[in-house]
Amino acid sequence: MAGARRVTRIDDLPVRDELRGKSPYGAPQLDVPVRLNTNENPYPLPDALVDRITERVREAARDLNRYPDRDAVELRTALARYLTRTSGHEVTTAHVWAANGSNEVIQQLLQTFGGPGRTALGFEPSYSMHSLIARGTGTGWRAAPRRADFSLDPDTATRAITEHRPDVVFVTSPNNPTGNAVPAETVLAVHDAAQAVKPTVVIVDEAYVEFSHGTSLLPLLAGRPLLVVSRTMSKAFGAAGLRLGYLAADPAVVDAVQLVRLPYHLSAVAQATALAALEHTDTLLKYVERLKAERDRLAAELTALGYDVTASDANFVQFGPFEGPDGARRYWQRLLDHGVLVRDTGVPGRLRVTAGTPEENDAFLDAVRALKKEHSG
């Protein structure tokens, strides 16, 4: 209504108790010259791929009078082929499920294996959406700590599992926002400790794995029907705008998530676009190599400037320390004043910077150097 004043606040509405007083996920989307805050791939898609997407979407457009392939079989087959080729572990169509971003994959997993009366456990600091999606699906949330260096201690993890008896456990590797990967032995310790209590779904969130120095944990799926690996095309494939996430797991898990997925959840346009992107995997993975080199350069230069940098296997770097209760916040603002947007993830005394293009990273490093001079000058 034109001119109508908004008088109702969320808390005036009969929202569910657990949503009262809460804030939505919200990385600031600010219009600044250098945006290094949401772990996106900075490279636009190459022209040849844009052309292929256009062709594929054009074909799909003719059939938009019909619902899309509900089971996304062609896409799941292409994703399975990609996983097999890059991990050496045989993955078939029946092992793969796809949805609108890995956030939706995680939501479907929590709708299936979590929900009211059940709990999920994560090792924090980690990806904040795990707990938010738990809340949205009525799943209780328990957090266990990481070590001071942000690695995951198998003994602490085991104790937390024994104490909380979760139905779902999240292990993010490489972890966001800290960047470090979790070794396979630790994931196995977590998995085995959880199964010793009760059948527990263990979700390994590998959103950033293509940027890792090591390898995917996919081979661990063999013989472990409650282990799930979630992946995304938002980072390595440079397709955050596409909203395409997927999982690999035992075919029974794939069957189980069908119980909660909305019919035709993945549009024909998204399926066509993702298929086109997968045809260009090799080109896209070359950008990943460039970003890994840039990530390592950022880490080396920040270390040389005297910062403490968390070893990163992802396309971002966590650095600090910034002293004082709002030290990270204040440094974030000062970088923003220099036209550089990074992320204040809420980890005390730390900020996270996404590896951008060489020019963007230079602008960030110039700003850091300028701030250092201002500080000492």
Q: Does 103 bind ligand PMP (CB under 6 A)?
A: yes
180 versus 232: smaller Cβ distance to ligand PMP = 232
**Alpha carbon separation from 235 to 29, 90, 211, 288, 374 (Å, rounded):** 17, 23, 9, 9, 35
Looking only at residues 180 through 209 of this chain, which bind ligand PMP when binding is defined by CB under 6 A? 205, 207
Looking only at residues 105 through 134 of this chain, which bind ligand PMP when binding is defined by CB under 6 A? 127
According to CB under 6 A, which one of 42, 68, 101, 238 is a site residue for ligand PMP?
101
129 versus 197: smaller Cβ distance to ligand PMP = 129
Q: Does 232 bind ligand PMP (CB under 6 A)?
A: yes
133 versus 367: smaller Cβ distance to ligand PMP = 133
314 versus 367: smaller Cβ distance to ligand PMP = 314
Residue nearest to ligand PMP (CB): 101
Q: Does 234 bind ligand PMP (CB under 6 A)?
A: yes
| CA atoms of 152 and 63, how far apart (whole Å) | 48
Q: Does 310 bind ligand PMP (CB under 6 A)?
A: no
**Listed ranges 1-9, 16-24, 97-105, 220-228: which one lies at the site for ligand PMP (CB under 6 A):** 97-105
- Total residues in contact with ligand PMP, by rule CB under 6 A: 13
157 versus 368: smaller Cβ distance to ligand PMP = 157
Q: Would strands 201-205 and 245-248 be described as parallel, antiparallel, or unpaired?
A: unpaired
Q: Does 331 bind ligand PMP (CB under 6 A)?
A: no
Q: Does 313 bind ligand PMP (CB under 6 A)?
A: no
Q: Does 37 bind ligand PMP (CB under 6 A)?
A: no
- Please state the closest distance from residue 173 (CB atom) to ligand PMP, in A: 9
- Please state the closest distance from residue 205 (CB atom) to ligand PMP, in A: 5
- Please state the closest distance from residue 2 (CB atom) to ligand PMP, in A: 36
Residues engaged in binding ligand PMP (CB under 6 A): 39, 101-103, 127, 172, 176, 205, 207, 232, 234, 240, 245
